[in-house]
């Protein structure tokens, strides 16, 4: 929209933090945050939304995957912005900030200037620079040391992974995908101020914050309003299509085939080939997320201990009837890596998706049998 409204605010103006509840899609599960500037005397009522990206960006999907996609600040008429979330049945809450005319003007000037074409784009980071953290950062920029966030109301000692999973059902494909893709860097304890990468904690942080003025503590929020109350939706989860059930079935199948192989003293080589190919491909993907992208949260990913990239190059060797001593050593290495994974999990270095547990057990069973077959020169390979 036009930047013609970039100007002085009247005494009737209000600046608010808008918090939107979670949606049905995975990328909406964490909610959303925005600013609202309303000035009834001048007729201004706009939303400043830092969560926008341009689908027309050249190489959009490549940049998105690499973590190089630029997000931007967009200004919309508030009613249009509001109706979008009403149509998605997502609750909308407003916190009117307790600001002086000078402070309101400073925030307004900053936001309008930030929305100019030369300033509006920024490098998005899910944990440290997103639509929620921008709200906190702008308020901190204007109020400075006068602003104090309290943290006595917060749940203590949560990691970034804990905070993410508060918004998700652990036994869903989205939750499992996030746990597999993100590395041990998100298993460190988050500082109280760092909880505010999530919109709900921006809301709670503002509700419990104070402004120091003239030896008194004034609340940051002077009024809270529920602009739209969403209608409860029935849960659409189905255990039969959940990752725990599907991977459990796959794990039982692997263990069953392994048991039959044991009774017959044979080896289902093509099962081993499928396992090596599948885990190797996932490993290559995780390795690329770690080293070939700008995503900060995909580093130090110990899911590579079960999804080992080299397995993709060993697939042909494991399918062959005649095997080499190197294959036996490689399978022993895979068993060591699974043991290391268990140590990392128990010690809390990295928490893994609970839905993976049946598959990890099945891989351990299969690798133990495979190693026993390969180390016996008289056993069929």
Q: Which domains does the chain have, with CATH numbers?
A: 14-228 (3.90.1720.10), 239-375 (no CATH)
The share of the chain scoring above pLDDT 90, in percent, equals: 83
Residue 300 and residue 281: Cα distance in Å, rounded?
A: 18
Instruction: Sort 161 into a burial class: Cβ within 10 Å, 0-12 / 13-18 / 19+.
Output: buried
Between CA 137 and CA 173, with CA 22 as vertex, the angle to 5 degrees is 110
| pLDDT for position 66 | 75
- For residue 370, is pLDDT > 90? yes
Enter the pTM of the model.
Answer: 0.90
Strand order across the beta sheet in which 221-228 lies: 121-123, 70-77, 44-53, 32-39, 14-20, 92-97, 221-228
How many alpha carbons fall within 13 Å on the CB side of residue 100?
9
The β-bridge partners of 216 are: 213
CB 129 within 8 A of CB 122: yes
Burial code (b: 16+ CB inside 10 Å, e: under 16) for 246-278 equals ebbeebeebbebbeebeeeeebebebbbebbbb
Residue 298 and residue 146: Cα distance in Å, rounded?
A: 36
Residue 77 and residue 141: Cα distance in Å, rounded?
A: 25
What is the per-residue pLDDT across 133-155, written as a single tens digit (0 to 9) for each?
Answer: 999 999 999 999 999 999 999 99
Q: What is the mean pLDDT of the chain?
A: 93
Number of H helices, E strands in the chain: 12, 10
User: Which of 56-60, 105-109, 287-291 is predicted with the least confidence, judged by mean pLDDT?
Assistant: 56-60
Q: Is 50 helix (H, G, I), strand (E, B) or coil?
A: strand
pLDDT band of 185, cuts 50, 70, 90: very high
N-to-C CA span, the chain: 69
Measured CA to CA in angstroms, residue 240 lies from 227, 253, 321 at distances of 38, 16, 37
Closest-CA residue to 112 (of 39, 5, 16):
5
DSSP label at 154? S
| pLDDT for position 4 | 47
The β-bridge partners of 52 are: 72
For residue 149, count other CB atoms closer than 10 A to its CB.
19
CB 4 within 8 A of CB 77: no
Residue 221 and residue 16: Cα distance in Å, rounded?
A: 9
Closest-CA residue to 163 (of 201, 132, 137):
201
Location of structure tokens 């930030």: 114
What is the per-residue pLDDT across 300-341, written as a single tens digit (0 to 9) for each?
Answer: 999 999 999 999 999 999 999 877 889 999 999 999 999 999
The β-bridge partners of 261 are: none
- For residue 378, is pLDDT > 60? no
What is the per-residue pLDDT across 49-74, written as a single tens digit (0 to 9) for each?
Answer: 999 977 677 776 677 667 778 899 99
């Amino acid at each position: 929209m036009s930047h013609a409204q970039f100007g002085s605010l009247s005494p009737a103006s209000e600046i608010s933090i808008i918090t939107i509840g979670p949606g049905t899609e995975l990328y909406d599960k964490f909610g959303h945050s925005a600013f609202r500037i309303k000035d009834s005397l001048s007729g201004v009522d706009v939303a400043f939304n830092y969560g926008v990206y341009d689908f027309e960006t050249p190489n959009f999907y490549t940049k998105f995957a690499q973590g190089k996609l630029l997000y931007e600040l967009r200004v919309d008429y508030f009613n249009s912005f509001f109706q979008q979330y009403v149509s998605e049945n997502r609750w909308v809450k407003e916190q009117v900030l307790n600001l002086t005319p000078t402070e309101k003007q400073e925030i307004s000037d900053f936001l309008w200037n930030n929305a100019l074409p030369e300033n509006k784009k920024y490098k998005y980071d899910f944990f440290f620079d997103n639509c929620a953290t921008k709200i906190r950062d702008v308020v901190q920029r204007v109020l400075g040391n006068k602003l104090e966030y309290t943290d006595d109301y917060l749940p203590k000692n949560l990691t970034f992974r804990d905070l993410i999973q508060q918004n998700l059902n652990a036994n869903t494909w989205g939750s499992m995908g996030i746990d597999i893709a993100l590395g041990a860097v998100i298993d460190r304890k988050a500082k109280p101020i760092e909880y505010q990468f999530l919109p709900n904690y921006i809301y709670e942080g503002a509700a419990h914050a104070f402004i120091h003025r003239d030896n008194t503590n004034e609340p940051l929020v002077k009024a809270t309003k529920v602009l739209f109350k969403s209608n409860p939706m029935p849960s659409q989860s189905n255990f039969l299509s959940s990752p725990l059930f599907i991977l459990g079935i796959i794990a039982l199948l692997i263990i069953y085939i392994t048991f039959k192989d044991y009774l017959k003293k044979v080896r289902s080589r093509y099962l081993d080939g499928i396992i090596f190919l599948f885990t190797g491909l996932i490993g290559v993907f995780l390795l690329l997320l770690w080293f070939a992208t700008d995503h900060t949260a995909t580093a130090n990913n110990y899911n590579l201990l079960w999804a080992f990239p080299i397995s993709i190059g060993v697939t042909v060797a494991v399918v062959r009837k005649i095997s080499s001593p190197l294959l036996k050593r490689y399978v022993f290495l895979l068993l060591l890596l699974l043991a290391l994974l268990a140590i990392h999990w128990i010690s809390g270095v990295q928490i893994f998706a609970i839905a993976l547990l049946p598959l990890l057990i099945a891989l351990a069973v299969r690798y133990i049998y495979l190693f026993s077959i390969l180390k016996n020169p008289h056993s069929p390979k």
